[in-house]
C-alpha cells in the first residue's frame, strides 16, 4: 500500500504519471511530522511515523491532543484548539517543547486539520522581523513601471541571497507548456541555464495545478527516506489522505530522479501565479542538500507573490499601452471605413494602418469572390484555400495562430509569408474574411534535453530526464506569436466591421424601401394624371369644336379665338401625354432585341411625311443594333421630326441619316439644314421643358429631346447635339454593342 | 318601324358629365338610331345589366354594346368588366373600354379580362368624334350581336340569321 511513497517504485509509465496521485503520496518528507486531526475534538485520525521523534511525544492515531505539564506543548495545544474552533484557514506558531524549538503550521482540509511540526535550529534560525528590512529594501527598489527582465533578474538575486541556494532560475511557461529560463542568478556551482528551454513534459499538468494551490515546495535533500502515514487510508472506503496543502508532502519519485539526473540534491520552488494562472516558477537548486528555515520560506513565498503581482501589473500595463496604440489605429481604420462607400474601397486606402493594426506583413480582404491584398501575402489561389480551410474550421468570429502549419500541414507551401494567421469572419453568409499574415521567423531554440524524446520510443514510457545536454533545434513554420492585446484588437475590429456592414445593409434596405415607396406614389400620381388631367383638355377642345360647328356664321375673329382655344387645349393634352411618356420611361423595363434600323427609320419617315411632305431625305443603309423597338422608334421619331420641323423654313429641307458600327457601340446621326441652334445653349438641349426656339416659330412641348436622352441612356448609350445658328443641326446617338 | 324596335340600346357608363355630353353629340351626328342609356357609375351599370335596383323594372334585353369608362365611382370599369366577363350569362355582351388612360397596364388588364375593344379618347375633337362614331357604327349597326338569353330560350325564326 505504500508503493507510492517509495523511490523504489520509480519506474512509472506515462499513463501512470499523468494519473500519478501526487496529492496523496501516503507519506511525507522526514523534515517534519504530521498529524491529521478531527476539528474541535482534536482526535488524531492519522500521524506520520516520526511524530514521536520530531515532537518528543508518543502520539498516534486514536489519541486526543491534550495539554501536558510542558508549558510549550500546552501553548501549542491551546493554539491548535483555538484555531480549530475559529475560521482562520491556516495556523503558524513557534514554540519550545522541552529542549527543542518547533515550527507548528496548520491547514484545513476536507478530511480534517493537517498540523505539521518542524524542528528549528535555535542557533541558525532567523525571524521574519530580521528578514523584513531586507525584503522592504528589495520591494522599495522595484520600479513599478520598470523593465520586466530587470525585475526578474533582481528577484532571482534576492531570492538566492535570502535562501542561500547555489542557483535561482526564473522559469516562464509559454502557451505550449514549455518553460524558458528568463532570468538567473548563481554562484557558479551549477550550470547556467539562462534562455534555455525545458520541455513541457518536465512538469506534468497535475503538478502545475498543485503549484498554483501550494505556492512553495522545498526538498532539502532528494535522497530523503519518505515517512509513511499511519494509517495511510481513512474510513471504511479506505480513502487516501489528501496532502495538497501539507508543507512536507512527499514528492513524486519521478521528480526526485529528475533532480538527481540534473545534478541537484536540493530544490525549492516558489510559484509565480498571475491572474490565477501559473505564469512561471522561481526555481532554486543546490548541488548539495540545503535546508531553508520556515521563516525564510515564508519570506520567499511572500517575495514570489509580490513579484507575481508586479509581473501581472506590468503585463497588464504593457498590454493596455499596446491596446491603446492599437485602438488609435483601429479608430483611424473605422473612420476610413465609415467614409468609404464599400468595404473594398476602405480597404484600398491607408495600407500601413491595415498592417499595423495587427503588426502584420500582409493583409487580405476576401469579400464574396473578390480578394484584395496589401503587403506580403500568399497568392490569390492560396488565400482562397485558406478561406476554404477557415470555413471548414467553423470559424464564427476570429481565429489566430502563430503556427498555421501545425494546424494545417498544407500551409507549409506559403509558410514563409503566412506562418502566422489572424482571421476575422465578417460575413457568415458568403465566406468573407479579413486576414492578417505574419511571415515565418526561423529561430534556434536551445533545449535542455530533447523535448521530442521525453517518451522512450521503445517502451513508450515517460522516463525521468537523464540528459540535460544542450539540444538545439531550428524552429520553422512559426511566426511571432499574436499578443493578447492584438487578439483583443482583432475581436473588437471584427465587431466594428460587422456592425458597419450591417448598418450599411440596413441603410441600403431603408433606401430601397424609400425608393419603392416613392415609386409607388409616383406611379399612382402619374396614373391619376393620365386619367384626370387629359380629360379637361379634351372637353375644352371638344366643346369649342362643337360651338364652332353649331354657330356656322361666326365672324372671323370669333372663329380665330375658337381655333386658338382648341389649339391650346390640344397642345396642353399633348404636353400631358409627353410628360407621361417621359415619366413612364423611368420605370419601364426594356425588352431589347436586334433592331432592323433601316425598317424602323423607313416607317418613321413615312409617318412624318404624311404631315410634312417636301423634305429631301438622304438615308444611308443603317447598321443594326440592340434596343427596345418601341422606345428606339420613339427616339427616331423625335429626332427626325425635329429635323424636319426645324428645316421647314428652307426652300429644300434636307434630312440626312447615317449610321456607323464601332467596337463598343453603334452610332447613328441625323443631320438637317435647318435653323440650327446656338452651341452656347447646348447644355439646355436635353433638359425637360427646355426650348431653344419660340413657340410661335416652332411648336413643341420641350420634352422630345429629354425623352430621347432618357431612352438612349437607359440603353447604356449616349446622345449629343451639335449645331450653329442657321447652319443646321446634327444629332448623334449611340447604342452599346451587345 | 319593326326594325327600329329591334335596335338594342347602347349603354354608356361615364361619370363625367362633359364626356357624356360630347359622346352623345358624337353619336347623334352619325345617325345612330339606337337608344343611348347613360349611367354614371359601375354599380348602376351592373344594376342595368342585371335588371336590379332602379332598373329592376326595365324591359328585358341586353344592350348592343357597353361603352365603359375605366375610372368610375363605386365600382370601377375594370371590375364591371371582370364581373360581366366572368358571368356566362353576360359575357357575350360586347364591352368597349372608353378611357382617358394611355396606361399600358389598363390596356393589358382589360384585354386579359376579355374586353372587346379598348379606345383611348383622343384630345383632338375631330379624332374623338371619329372614334365615337366608328364605335357606334361598328357595335350598334354593323356588328351582329349575340342572341339574347331570353331569345335563345324562345327562339323566333328569322331574328338572328342575316
**φ and ψ at residue A498, rounded to 5 degrees:** -60, -40
CATH architecture of A483-587: Orthogonal Bundle (1.10)
Question: Residue A343 has what pLDDT?
Answer: 82
Judging contacts by C-beta atoms under 8 Å, the chain B residues touching residue A545 are 125-126, 129
Residue B153 has pLDDT above 50, yes or no: no
Predicted confidence band at A313 (pLDDT cuts at 50, 70, 90)?
Answer: confident
CA–CA separation, A687 and A721 (whole Å): 12
DSSP classification of residue A531: I
How sure is the predictor about B158, in pLDDT bands with cuts at 50, 70 and 90? very low
Chain A neighbours among B 104-123 (CB < 8 Å)?
Answer: 104, 121-123
**Inter-chain contact B101–A530, Cβ cutoff 8 Å?**
yes
Pick the range with the lowest mean pLDDT from A97-101, A122-126, A607-611.
Answer: A122-126
Q: Is B128–A566 a contact, with Cβ atoms under 8 angstroms apart? A: no
Owner of C-alpha cell 506590468? A314
- B99 touches A: beta carbon within 8 Å: yes
Name which of A352, A235, A222 is nearest A290 in CA terms.
A222
What pLDDT is attached to residue A734?
A: 93
Query: Domain map of chain B by residue range?
Result: 2-153
Contact A111, A36 (CB under 8 A): yes
The C-alpha atoms of residue A214 and residue A269 are separated, in whole angstroms, by 10
**pLDDT digit string (tens) for A449-498?**
665 544 444 444 444 555 566 667 777 888 888 988 899 889 999 998 88
pLDDT at A466: 56
- pLDDT for res A11: 37
Please identify which residue in the block is written with the cell numbers 440603353: A715
Whether the pLDDT of residue A436 is over 80: the answer is yes
Residues A539, B101: C-beta atoms closer than 8 Å: no
The alpha-helical segments, DSSP class H, found in chain B are 2-6, 17-29, 42-50, 77-86, 104-113, 125-135, 149-153
Task: Give the pLDDT confidence of A127-161 residue by residue, as tens digits.
Answer: 777 788 888 888 888 776 677 888 899 999 999 99
> Any chain A CB within 8 A of the CB of B125?
yes
Q: CATH 3.30.565.10 residue ranges in chain A?
A: 588-736
**Are B19 and A539 inside 8 Å of each other by CB?**
yes
Contact A534 B125 (CB under 8 A): no
SS3 for A378?
coil
- The residues near A236 (Cβ < 8 Å, ≥ 6 apart) are none
* Start-to-end CA span in chain B (Å): 18
Q: What is the mean pLDDT of residues A702-715?
A: 86
Give the best residue of A523, A525, A526, A538 to mutate against chain B (max B CB count within 10 A): A538
pLDDT of A216: 92
Q: Is residue A123's pLDDT more than 80?
A: no
Half-sphere exposure of A72 (CA within 13 A, CB side): 16
pLDDT in tens, A710-731: 889 888 899 999 988 888 899 9
Least confident among A299-308, B30-39, B85-94: B30-39
CB A604 within 8 A of CB A670: no
The predicted pLDDT at position A587 comes to: 66
pLDDT tens sequence across A556-587: 888 888 888 888 888 888 888 777 777 777 66
Helix (H) or strand (E) holding A126: none
**Helix or strand run (H / E) with residue A75:** helix A71-85
Is the CB of residue A721 less than 8 Å away from at least one CB of chain B?
no
pLDDT > 70 in chain B, percent: 81
- Contact flag A535-B126 (C-beta cutoff 8 Å): no
Chain B residues with CB-CB distance to A577 below 8 A = 102, 123
Q: Rounded mean pLDDT of chain A?
A: 84
Between chains, do B125 and A542 touch, taking CB under 8 Å as contact? yes
Name the residue in chain B with its Cα closest to that of A583. B103
What does pLDDT average to over chain B?
Answer: 79
pLDDT band at A690 (very low <50, low <70, confident <90, very high): low
> What pLDDT is recorded for position B160?
38
Q: Do B123 and A539 touch (CB under 8 A)?
A: no
How many contacts (CB atoms, under 8 Å) link A and B? Answer: 63
As a CATH number, domain B2-153 is 3.40.50.2300
Mutate to test the interface with A, among B73, B123, B129, B130 (most CBs of A within 10 A): B123
> Which tens digits make up the pLDDT trace of B105-121?
788 888 888 888 888 88
Maximum distance among all alpha carbons in chain B?
46
Task: State mean pLDDT over A209-222.
Answer: 90
Whose cell is 444629332? That residue is: A731
Residue A410 has pLDDT above 50, yes or no: yes
Cβ distance A570 to B100 less than 8 Å, yes or no, reads no
**What architecture (CATH level 2) is domain A588-736?**
2-Layer Sandwich (3.30)
Burial-class residue B108 by CB neighbours within 10 Å (0-12, 13-18, 19+): exposed
Q: Which three cell numbers stand for residue A252?
A: 513524486
Q: What is the pLDDT of residues A33-73, one digit of tens each?
A: 999 999 889 999 999 999 999 988 888 888 998 888 888 89
Count how many residues are written for chain B: 162
pLDDT of B132 reads 80
CA of B79 to nearest chain A CA: how many angstroms apart? 17
Using a CB-CB distance cutoff of 8 angstroms, which residues of chain A are in contact with residue B125? 538, 541-542, 544-546, 566
For the stretch A372-392, pLDDT in tens is: 999 999 999 999 999 989 988
User: Which of A79-93, A221-235, B138-152 comes out lowest in average pLDDT?
Assistant: B138-152
Cβ contact B125–A545 (<8 Å) = yes
CB atoms within 10 A of CB A516: 10
pLDDT bracket for residue A692 (50, 70, 90): low
Closest CA to A707 of A730, A733, A686: A686
C-alpha cell of A610? 404624311
pLDDT at A24 over 70: yes
Q: What percent of chain A has pLDDT over 70?
A: 91
d(CA A526, CA A523): 5
Tell me if A97 sits within 8 A of A119, measured CB to CB: no
Give the per-residue pLDDT at B144.
64
Which is more confident, A472 or A415? A415
What average pLDDT score do residues A579-601 get? 82
Q: Which three cell numbers stand for residue A154?
A: 533582481
Grade residue A2 by pLDDT with cuts at 50, 70 and 90.
very low
Region for residue B39 given its phi and psi (left: phi exceeds 0; alpha: psi -120 to 50; beta: otherwise):
beta
Amino acid at each position: 500500500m505504500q508503493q507510492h511513497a517509495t523511490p523504489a517504485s520509480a519506474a512509472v509509465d506515462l499513463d501512470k504519471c499523468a494519473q500519478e496521485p501526487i496529492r496523496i503520496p501516503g507519506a511525507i518528507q522526514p523534515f517534519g511530522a504530521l498529524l491529521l486531526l478531527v476539528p474541535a475534538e482534536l482526535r488524531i485520525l492519522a500521524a506520520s511515523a516520526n511524530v514521536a521523534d520530531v515532537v518528543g511525544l508518543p502520539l498516534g492515531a486514536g489519541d486526543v491532543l491534550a495539554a501536558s505539564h510542558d508549558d510549550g506543548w500546552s501553548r501549542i495545544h491551546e493554539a491548535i484548539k483555538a484555531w480549530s474552533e475559529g475560521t482562520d484557514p491556516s495556523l503558524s506558531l513557534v514554540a519550545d517543547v522541552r529542549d527543542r524549538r518547533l515550527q507548528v503550521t496548520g491547514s484545513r482540509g476536507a478530511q480534517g486539520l493537517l498540523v505539521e511540526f518542524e524542528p528549528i535550529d535555535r542557533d541558525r534560525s532567523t525571524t521574519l522581523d530580521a528578514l523584513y528590512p531586507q525584503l522592504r529594501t528589495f520591494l522599495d527598489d522595484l520600479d513599478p513601471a520598470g523593465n520586466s527582465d530587470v525585475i526578474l533578474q533582481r528577484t532571482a538575486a534576492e531570492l538566492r541571497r535570502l535562501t542561500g541556494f547555489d542557483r535561482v532560475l526564473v522559469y516562464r511557461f509559454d502557451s505550449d507548456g514549455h518553460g524558458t529560463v528568463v532570468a538567473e542568478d548563481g554562484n557558479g556551482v551549477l550550470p547556467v541555464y539562462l534562455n534555455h528551454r525545458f520541455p513541457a513534459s518536465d512538469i506534468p499538468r497535475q503538478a502545475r495545478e498543485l503549484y498554483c494551490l501550494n505556492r512553495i515546495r522545498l526538498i532539502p535533500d532528494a535522497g530523503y527516506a519518505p515517512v509513511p502515514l499511519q494509517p495511510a487510508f481513512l474510513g471504511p472506503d479506505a480513502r487516501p489522505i489528501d496532502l495538497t496543502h501539507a508543507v512536507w508532502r512527499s514528492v513524486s519519485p519521478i521528480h526526485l530522479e529528475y533532480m538527481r539526473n540534473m545534478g541537484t540534491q536540493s530544490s525549492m520552488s516558489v510559484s509565480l501565479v498571475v491572474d490565477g494562472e501559473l505564469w512561471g516558477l522561481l526555481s532554486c537548486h543546490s548541488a548539495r542538500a540545503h535546508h531553508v528555515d520556515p521563516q525564510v520560506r515564508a519570506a520567499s513565498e511572500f517575495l514570489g507573490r509580490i513579484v507575481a503581482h508586479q509581473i501581472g501589473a506590468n503585463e497588464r500595463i504593457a498590454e493596455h499601452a499596446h491596446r491603446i496604440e492599437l485602438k488609435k489605429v483601429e479608430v483611424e481604420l473605422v473612420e476610413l471605413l465609415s467614409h468609404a462607400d464599400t468595404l473594398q474601397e476602405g480597404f484600398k486606402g491607408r495600407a500601413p494602418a491595415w498592417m499595423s493594426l495587427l503588426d502584420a506583413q500582409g493583409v487580405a480582404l476576401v469579400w464574396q469572390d473578390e480578394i484584395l491584398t496589401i503587403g506580403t501575402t500568399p497568392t490569390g489561389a492560396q488565400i482562397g484555400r485558406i478561406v476554404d480551410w477557415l470555413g471548414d474550421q467553423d470559424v464564427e468570429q476570429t481565429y489566430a495562430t502563430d503556427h498555421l502549419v501545425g494546424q494545417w500541414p498544407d500551409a507549409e507551401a506559403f509558410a514563409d509569408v503566412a506562418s502566422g494567421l489572424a482571421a476575422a469572419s465578417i460575413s457568415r453568409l458568403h465566406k468573407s474574411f479579413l486576414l492578417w499574415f505574419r511571415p515565418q521567423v526561423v529561430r534556434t531554440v536551445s533545449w535542455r534535453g530533447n523535448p521530442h524524446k521525453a517518451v522512450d520510443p521503445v517502451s513508450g514510457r515517460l522516463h525521468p530526464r537523464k540528459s540535460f545536454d544542450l539540444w538545439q533545434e531550428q524552429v520553422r513554420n512559426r511566426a511571432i506569436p499574436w499578443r493578447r492585446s492584438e487578439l483583443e484588437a482583432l475581436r473588437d475590429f471584427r465587431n466594428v466591421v460587422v456592425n458597419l456592414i450591417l448598418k450599411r445593409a440596413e441603410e441600403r434596405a431603408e433606401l430601397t424601401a424609400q425608393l419603392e415607396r416613392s415609386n409607388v406614389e409616383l406611379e399612382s400620381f402619374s396614373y391619376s394624371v393620365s386619367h384626370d388631367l387629359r380629360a379637361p383638355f379634351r372637353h375644352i377642345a371638344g366643346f369649342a369644336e362643337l360651338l364652332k360647328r353649331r354657330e356656322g356664321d361666326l365672324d372671323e375673329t370669333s372663329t380665330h379665338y375658337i381655333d386658338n382655344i382648341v389649339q391650346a387645349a390640344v397642345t396642353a393634352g399633348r404636353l400631358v401625354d409627353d410628360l407621361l411618356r417621359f415619366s413612364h420611361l423611368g420605370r419601364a423595363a426594356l425588352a431589347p432585341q436586334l433592331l432592323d434600323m433601316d425598317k424602323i427609320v423607313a416607317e418613321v419617315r413615312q409617318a412624318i411625311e404624311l404631315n410634312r411632305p417636301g423634305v429631301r431625305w438622304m438615308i444611308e443603309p443603317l447598321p443594326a443594333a440592340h434596343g427596345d423597338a418601341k422606345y428606339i422608334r420613339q427616339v427616331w421619331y423625335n429626332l427626325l421630326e425635329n429635323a424636319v420641323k426645324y428645316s421647314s423654313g428652307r426652300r429644300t429641307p434636307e434630312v440626312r441619316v447615317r449610321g456607323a458600327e464601332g467596337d463598343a457601340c453603334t452610332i447613328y446621326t441625323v443631320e438637317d439644314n435647318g435653323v440650327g441652334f446656338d452651341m452656347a445653349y447646348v447644355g439646355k438641349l436635353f433638359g425637360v421643358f427646355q426650348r431653344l426656339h419660340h413657340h410661335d416659330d416652332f411648336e413643341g412641348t420641350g420634352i422630345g429631346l429629354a425623352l430621347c436622352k432618357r431612352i438612349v441612356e437607359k440603353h447604356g448609350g449616349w446622345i449629343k447635339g451639335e449645331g450653329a445658328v442657321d447652319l443646321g443641326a446634327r444629332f448623334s446617338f449611340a447604342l452599346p454593342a451587345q | 318601324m319593326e326594325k327600329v324596335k329591334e335596335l338594342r340600346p347602347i349603354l354608356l357608363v361615364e361619370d363625367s358629365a362633359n364626356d357624356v355630353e360630347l359622346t352623345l353629340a358624337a353619336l347623334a351626328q352619325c345617325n345612330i338610331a339606337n337608344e343611348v342609356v347613360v349611367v354614371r357609375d359601375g354599380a348602376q351599370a351592373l344594376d342595368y345589366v342585371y335588371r336590379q335596383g332602379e332598373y329592376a323594372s326595365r324591359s328585358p334585353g341586353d344592350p348592343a354594346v357597353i361603352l365603359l369608362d375605366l375610372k368610375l365611382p363605386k365600382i370601377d370599369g375594370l371590375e364591371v368588366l371582370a364581373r360581366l366577363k366572368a358571368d356566362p350569362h353576360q359575357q357575350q355582351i360586347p364591352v368597349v373600354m372608353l378611357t382617358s388612360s394611355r396606361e399600358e397596364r389598363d390596356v393589358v388588364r382589360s384585354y386579359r379580362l376579355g374586353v372587346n375593344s379598348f379606345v383611348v379618347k383622343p384630345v383632338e375633337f375631330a379624332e374623338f368624334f371619329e372614334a365615337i362614331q366608328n364605335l357606334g357604327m361598328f357595335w350598334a349597326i354593323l356588328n351582329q350581336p349575340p342572341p339574347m338569353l331570353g331569345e335563345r330560350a324562345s327562339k323566333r325564326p328569322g331574328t338572328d340569321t342575316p
